[in-house]
Chains A and B, each alone.
Chain A
């Protein structure tokens, strides 16, 4: 009896950990792949670079992972940012038009020279990210200072953002061939280059939130913004900063996405990725109401989403039908996290530990 109690204690610390459910989900999917898709785990070495389905999960998941970093912080403050997909499109359009301004003259100009660019790369990246941060600040002002519901405030940019992106590119798709820029999404240094961007962003954010007080401020704002205000935290500035940071992450994701397809396509870049990002955070166990968050769990959540996509493609499910499967997964995850289900599990698994305290 005692033995089993001790056992259930360690088991409990593990199950209560935030990483538990996402990791279980990821390993279930990978197990499924191991059994049903031959060669899913094979990694080949081409000119010193590693290629394979497993690497592709990371590479294709990099945009969602970048978005999930910003989204985790926003959701931790009790908000939500629906506009990240539109901000991705805006950043990509700014970058595209600065490298190939032919669309402004109302013509689609197919540049073939891989060294052609209108503006230097540093200016392109800085101005795209600057515009993305501006979009984030706009959301932040609406949420923190005008006090509009986060969902509604960001919905506005979600509706208007794609129009703005098309305004920038004059409604045309802009071809990008500049080699250095395409390296962002398509380059490899042993591993895909976009993974290094994700890693840098992750480490930076992790240090900012866990080694300084900012992380705690964000959590306290999420749990109760009024009491954090009375305990001396400038909750408005925290919210503003978090939304601006989310815009910044969306900007980087937009650059990676556009360099991946060598086009800045205002209509399709980042379409419905906001949903993937939110879902990644939800799978990571951050409550939609705000409060405690875990960046690492959100990363694993993003990988879960991408792994599902990748394995469904490998089985041969058509891209559009994939959404139905994603929806079923979402429902499953929602059920797992719902209070009703948890209390049911608690009742079922440990009736005695509850009586003790």
Chain B
């Protein structure tokens, strides 16, 4: 039995991390769906792809780089630089298709330059790409200090086109849900994914990539001695990764419709973590492009779970990803050491004893990590629960929007009525802004008033209706049960004989961007009803 297991382990050394990642992603999603009704919504599942399309694109390029035994830290810089330059070039009125081609060319140039440093000047990949990252990030701020929004029509179309999933639409409509969809970047990502799998496993170039990596650079030497085109392959791999980074940057700008130099900070770590979780050895030479997809999914599901749990802060994502990366690297190291043990000339008994010892060590270390992780989460949950139990309830019963009252205020001459419920303090606050600059607020018990200038109100209305297109189809109502820290908003605006109200909830990606901007514009004018002590 024991022997069979160890034989199985040796045979499937490369596949074990891959399948365990796939299982982990599925299990995490399953657990989430079991506890949170919202996660069973098919759109939430497809949002996993929508939210991580740029991560997938970038991770595909990174997989090839890591397979050659290198690393590319510049991806986040190139992504940020792409968003900024795209936004600025579009603002200057260039042809959007031209801009896309130009950005891809820029990414490839950056990758090519870094690749030539690594290949011909023998600079460590780590240092060369680090310099590349700094350069790209610095250039972002030479181009623009502030975030630049993208309102080009073609980009809006590319980013907002909904691609319905065939077969699921009818089922969803039958159940009364909106049909689930993915976006164009997701399709692009999957196309790239399929193409790269083909390149990596079925072409001469792909074989060379695998031949270069691994064994602390000794394999590169042997590949060179075998007459493989090592230099050309490395150059191509880094250029391809630059292309992927630029493509990821375009996908990100289609996702957020703006560009800024601080976007995607720490992104390279996510990319590397998902490649490692996908079963690719960081020393190179071993792994599958296919696995990277599951690595990305683990990351996406982790983020979604933490969003759904709500009481955990976003930095838990970092800890979970760090621990997962560690476990996967540990498993890989243990499995890789098995191979070394097999090759050594020792008697089978000794070998078996060593293997068994290693196996148990590996299992022990893994178990300790899982235990530590579990206990940390449980303890923190207990702590959170005990604190909450004494001071405030964990989940408030969200009060319904008082729509009739809001309509009444609009009748009385208010131009903006803003109602928010839930949030950390479980509020139920109704604000009204009048054209003469009077702002009132009430939560049913206390009433407050504040005076701003009429010009400010006029400015606010213009900004919301013109810049954020309040009275167009860009603004629509969305509603989900708010998480523990999230507010639910209902804004009614009456301006220029038009009237429209829309609801939205914090912390979801479904909220239209214009809605969030409008909220941000309104918020500074509001008085504080219950000042926190």
Instruction: Please report A residues at the B interface, Cβ cutoff 8 Å.
Output: 80, 106, 146-149, 151-153, 155-164, 166-167, 171, 275, 278, 282, 288, 318, 320-328, 330-331, 334-335, 338-341
Kindly provide the distance from the CB of B244 to the nearest chain A CB, expressed in whole angstroms: 20
Q: Which of B71, B131, B313, B387 has the most CB of A within 10 A?
A: B131
If the complex has contacts A166-B313, A334-B128, are A156 and B123 also in contact, measured as CB distance less than 8 A? no
Residue B30 at the chain A interface, CB threshold 8 Å: no
Among the listed A166, A167, A326, A339, which residue makes an inter-chain contact with B134, where contact means beta carbons less than 8 Å apart? A326
CA distance A325 to B131 in the complex (A): 10
If the complex has contacts A324-B137, A327-B134, A334-B123, are A163 and B322 also in contact, measured as CB distance less than 8 A? yes
Q: How many residues on B have C-beta within 8 angstroms of the other chain's C-beta atoms? A: 46
CA distance A340 to B337 in the complex (A): 36
Kindly provide the distance from the CB of B449 to the nearest chain A CB, expressed in whole angstroms: 28
Interface residues of chain A: helix, strand, loop or mixed (majority): helix
Please determine whether A148 and B333 come into contact, CB atoms closer than 8 angstroms: yes
Please determine whether A163 and B127 come into contact, CB atoms closer than 8 angstroms: no
B145: chain A residues at CB < 8 Å are 318, 320
Kindly provide the distance from the CB of A317 to the nearest chain B CB, expressed in whole angstroms: 9
Chain B residue with minimal CB distance to A106? B387
Among the listed B122, B138, B319, which residue makes an inter-chain contact with A320, where contact means beta carbons less than 8 Å apart? B138
Please determine whether B321 and A159 come into contact, CB atoms closer than 8 angstroms: yes
Please determine whether B315 and A166 come into contact, CB atoms closer than 8 angstroms: yes
Among the listed A147, A157, A322, A334, which residue makes an inter-chain contact with B333, where contact means beta carbons less than 8 Å apart? A147
A153: chain B residues at CB < 8 Å are 329
Chain A residue with minimal CB distance to B330? A146
Residue B142 at the chain A interface, CB threshold 8 Å: yes
3 nearest A-B pairs in the assembled complex, by CB-CB distance: A324-B138, A160-B322, A163-B318
Chain B residue with minimal CB distance to A162? B318
CA distance A126 to B505 in the complex (A): 46
CA distance A106 to B131 in the complex (A): 39
Residue B430 at the chain A interface, CB threshold 8 Å: no
Please determine whether A155 and B121 come into contact, CB atoms closer than 8 angstroms: no
Among the listed A152, A164, A321, which residue makes an inter-chain contact with B319, where contact means beta carbons less than 8 Å apart? A164
If the complex has contacts A155-B269, A330-B134, A331-B131, are A321 and B142 also in contact, measured as CB distance less than 8 A? yes
Please determine whether A330 and B131 come into contact, CB atoms closer than 8 angstroms: yes
CA distance A80 to B125 in the complex (A): 14
Please, could you name 8 A-B residue pairs with CB atoms under 8 Å apart, sorted by A?
A: A152-B329, A156-B329, A157-B322, A166-B313, A166-B315, A288-B127, A323-B135, A325-B138
B131: chain A residues at CB < 8 Å are 327, 330-331, 334
Other than A161-B322, A167-B315, give 16 A-B pairs with Cβ distance below 8 A. Answer: A106-B387, A147-B337, A149-B282, A152-B329, A158-B269, A160-B318, A160-B319, A282-B127, A288-B124, A320-B261, A324-B137, A326-B138, A327-B131, A331-B131, A338-B121, A341-B121
Among the listed B117, B261, B323, which residue makes an inter-chain contact with A334, where contact means beta carbons less than 8 Å apart? B117
A288: chain B residues at CB < 8 Å are 124, 126-127
Question: For chain B residues 94-147, which have a beta carbon within 8 Å of chain A?
Answer: 117, 120-124, 126-128, 130-135, 137-142, 145
Chain A residue with minimal CB distance to B376? A167
Kindly provide the distance from the CB of B140 to the nearest chain A CB, expressed in whole angstroms: 7
Kindly provide the distance from the CB of B150 to the nearest chain A CB, expressed in whole angstroms: 21
Please determine whether B127 and A159 come into contact, CB atoms closer than 8 angstroms: no
Residue B526 at the chain A interface, CB threshold 8 Å: no
CA distance A318 to B123 in the complex (A): 29
B276: chain A residues at CB < 8 Å are 152
Please determine whether B269 and A151 come into contact, CB atoms closer than 8 angstroms: no
CA distance A105 to B379 in the complex (A): 16
Kindly provide the distance from the CB of A281 to the nearest chain B CB, expressed in whole angstroms: 11
Chain B residue with minimal CB distance to A157? B322
Kindly provide the distance from the CB of A171 to the nearest chain B CB, expressed in whole angstroms: 5
B319: chain A residues at CB < 8 Å are 160, 163-164, 167
CA distance A287 to B135 in the complex (A): 23
CA distance A320 to B135 in the complex (A): 10
Question: For chain B residues 300-356, which have a beta carbon within 8 Å of chain A?
Answer: 313, 315-319, 321-323, 325-326, 329-330, 333, 337
Kindly provide the distance from the CB of A296 to the nearest chain B CB, expressed in whole angstroms: 22
Please determine whether B132 and A327 come into contact, CB atoms closer than 8 angstroms: yes
A331: chain B residues at CB < 8 Å are 117, 131
